[in-house]
A and B are shown apart, each in its own frame.
Chain A
């Protein structure tokens, strides 16, 4: 069965420094997608970045990058130049099947709470 594991319940980082949030996954599918979402204290879920299992390059979106190591089944989120507004809960999620999979169901990890210190 598919599973997402986030082993860091909480992380601290100094403003302007980079931070890596860990995510490992387990699936028997060859085709899958990996997502990161941010949930600030206000509660909404904000999509950050996506990596497909067949994508050869690591995904990047502005200050966010995804360090995808397929053999290790890890999909770590790297936030560069942390800002105070980055303080939030971060969730890693996985969807089995390709981009046109009709189900599209996501399995979420338990989340990592990131606190950025001034």
Chain B
């Protein structure tokens, strides 16, 4: 996908493990976002960063932390993974329109 790269693409975790999802954009946009997509529920905003150095909670922030490392990178961390966090995670950059990465499929057993 143009400009937004997510790693990894797939991951399986055990309950209680931690991991960080990475996102990088090469479009020089200020705004970056993390969404999760669950079956039948569309995408829901977890956290966003309007500019480098700022982060704010979205609709479903519980259980997650984020870091806006620099203008290019915005990471999402699960400190203690739970089965309810099994989902597809999308990172996006810009806001009109938002450009999405290809997603990370995360399964927590």
Q: Taking beta carbons and an 8 Å cutoff, which residues of A are in contact with B?
A: 4, 33, 35, 37, 43-45, 47, 50, 91, 93, 95, 99, 101-111
Chain B contributes a number of interface residues (CB within 8 A of A) equal to 28
Shortest beta-carbon distance from A46 to chain B in Å: 8
Question: Across the interface, do B44 and A102 meet the contact criterion of CB distance under 8 Å?
Answer: no
Question: Across the interface, do B42 and A105 meet the contact criterion of CB distance under 8 Å?
Answer: no
Cross-chain pairs A/B with CB under 8 angstroms, 11 sampled: A44-B103, A47-B97, A91-B42, A102-B51, A104-B48, A104-B94, A104-B98, A106-B43, A106-B45, A108-B43, A110-B42
Tell me whether chain B's interface is mostly helix, strand or loop, or mixed.
loop
Q: Taking beta carbons and an 8 Å cutoff, which residues of B are in contact with A?
A: 1, 31, 33, 35, 40-45, 48, 50-51, 56, 58-59, 88, 90, 92, 94-100, 102-103
Specify the chain A residue showing the minimal Cβ separation from B100: A45
Question: Across the interface, do B95 and A101 meet the contact criterion of CB distance under 8 Å?
Answer: yes
